[in-house]
Chain A
Amino acid sequence: MALRSLQVTITALGICIVIGIPAGAALALIRFPGKRLLTALIYTGMGFPPVVIGLMVYLLLSRSGPLGSLGWLFTLRAMILAQIILATPLIVGITMSSVLGVDPGLQPQLRALGATRWQIVRALLLEARFGIIVGVVAGFGSVISEVGAVMLVGGNIEGRTRVMTTAIVLETRQGSFDFALALGIILLALSFITNLTMVLGQGKLSSS
């Protein structure tokens, strides 16, 4: 179950990073019509009630929904999808604001040193790395701690879609507080170890 929690979290977070960091950088660096509206939508997404996302994904994947034919409802894929929708705006928003936070004077100076467009993007992302790591940490936190949405779309099926958080809810309801508490401690430990790893990685980045 702990492994399943990690599997769902890591898969969802990986996809969030792959989508979120480039999207955040693009939003910070490219001017296009409708950018403000999109930014407002992303900020809204950063604080979206997870259970509403769960409901939407549920409707999307239910047998009569537009993506019902995929048969994803009550599977890990449905849970991962809900978590991607939940955490991607966080990573996009924080990446965007971190890249915007880089001194605007840097860009022309890098160009004047002979940097190509991609070399500039790379340098700006590296300059914004600490902010981006914060975004990833926030995304990780929201994904691993999510209950409502994954309960709705995963169904909390034992041995298949039950993860740490949903198990804690169930055990608490059944009065097995000891077991629930033990699960809670394991979840905290997982979270702490992961964050510690990221912080250590951040230290390495700053000295490079």
Chain B
Amino acid sequence: MSDIVYSIENLEQIYGSRTVLRVPSLQIAQGEVLALVGPSGAGKSTLLRLLALLETPTRGQVTLHLDGRAVTSATATIEDRRQIAMVFQRPVLLSRSVRANVAYGLRLRGKRNQHDRVEAALERVALTHIADTHPRTLSGGEMQRVAVARSLILEPRVLLLDEPTANLDPYNVGLIESLVREQNQQFGATSVLVTHNVFQARRLASRVALILDGDIIEIAPTETFFNAPRDPRTAAFVSGEFVY
């Protein structure tokens, strides 16, 4: 199938003696927004790092499909990796200006004189007025917006987000969510989003997966996931009465 971006087969990720993630099979389609929900330590972020090809699975395969080619963390070239961008929960910025941070990924790709693109990206995250300041003076929400901007400017085919709005105020949450939606709708970026927040999953995702203790308990289209979950644990999770 040509519209599959990721396929996972028999994946197991083991840290030390602990199996943190088991995914027998999972496909992620071109253009979908998949939300991974579940408690802390369930393996959501591990799955995201595997999708980012930042880690190599202990067993099994995570395959990224690009223009009919199948690449893994072992075979991906730097150009393949550059089709993916990831936003982390706690952004770490470079000690350069906000503008230089946003432009960084372009510079890595040898694109130095794309001022219009950089300004447009700053505009999108509403940071034009502080483009010349140093990141250490920014608030948490502003830092995360810089992190989102430095990823979106790359127009990645796959956008991975690890709890991008944890601990942020509603204004910043709304802004970041609308950017993710826009990137998906206008540029067709496939997005995988890790979130604690079931409401965010409902607002953004086309498909939602519940992960508990390293297993995908249920994965379903958002409507089904919330309105007619198969697993009682999903039902408990979406109703907010879930206790881990």
Interface string of A98-136 (1 = CB under 8 A from B): 000001011011011111100100010011000000000
Residues of chain A contacted by B151 (CB below 8 angstroms): 113
Residues of chain A contacted by B120 (CB below 8 angstroms): none
| B106-142 residues at the A interface, CB under 8 angstroms | 108-109
Q: Which residue of A lies closest to B86 (CB)?
A: A112
Q: Is there contact, CB below 8 Å, between B82 and A114?
A: yes
Residues of B in contact (CB 8 Å), total 25
Q: Is there contact, CB below 8 Å, between B92 and A112?
A: no
Q: Is there contact, CB below 8 Å, between A105 and B90?
A: yes
Taken together as a complex, chains A and B put the C-alpha atoms of A127 and B154 apart, in Å, by: 22
Report if B36 contacts A (CB, 8 A).
no
Q: Is there contact, CB below 8 Å, between A112 and B85?
A: yes
Residues of chain B contacted by A114 (CB below 8 angstroms): 78, 81-82, 85, 105, 108-109, 154
CB distance from B93 to the nearest CB of A (A): 8
| A48-67 residues at the B interface, CB under 8 angstroms | none
Residues of A in contact (CB 8 Å), total 16
CB distance from B157 to the nearest CB of A (A): 12
CB distance from B187 to the nearest CB of A (A): 17
Q: Is there contact, CB below 8 Å, between B154 and A113?
A: yes
CB distance from A23 to the nearest CB of B (A): 23
Q: Is the interface of A mostly helix, strand, loop or mixed?
A: helix
Residues of chain A contacted by B84 (CB below 8 angstroms): 112
Taken together as a complex, chains A and B put the C-alpha atoms of A208 and B81 apart, in Å, by: 28
Report if B104 contacts A (CB, 8 A).
yes
Interface string of B198-234 (1 = CB under 8 A from A): 0000000000000000000000000000000000000
Q: Is there contact, CB below 8 Å, between A111 and B54?
A: yes
Q: Which residue of A lies closest to B82 (CB)?
A: A114
Taken together as a complex, chains A and B put the C-alpha atoms of A103 and B95 apart, in Å, by: 11
A115-B88 contact in complex given A108-B54, A127-B94, A208-B96, C-beta closer than 8 Å: no
Q: Which residue of A lies closest to B79 (CB)?
A: A114
Report if B52 contacts A (CB, 8 A).
yes
Known A105-B92, A113-B108, A114-B81; 12 more pairs at CB < 8 Å: A103-B92, A106-B92, A108-B88, A109-B88, A112-B54, A112-B88, A112-B160, A113-B105, A114-B78, A114-B108, A127-B95, A208-B96
Sort A-B residue pairs by CB-CB distance and give the 6 closest, nearest first.
A112-B86, A114-B82, A105-B92, A106-B92, A113-B105, A103-B92
Q: Give 20 A-B contacts (CB < 8 Å), ordered by A residue.
A: A106-B92, A109-B91, A109-B92, A109-B147, A112-B54, A112-B84, A112-B85, A112-B86, A112-B160, A113-B85, A113-B108, A113-B150, A113-B151, A113-B154, A114-B81, A114-B105, A114-B154, A115-B108, A116-B78, A123-B94
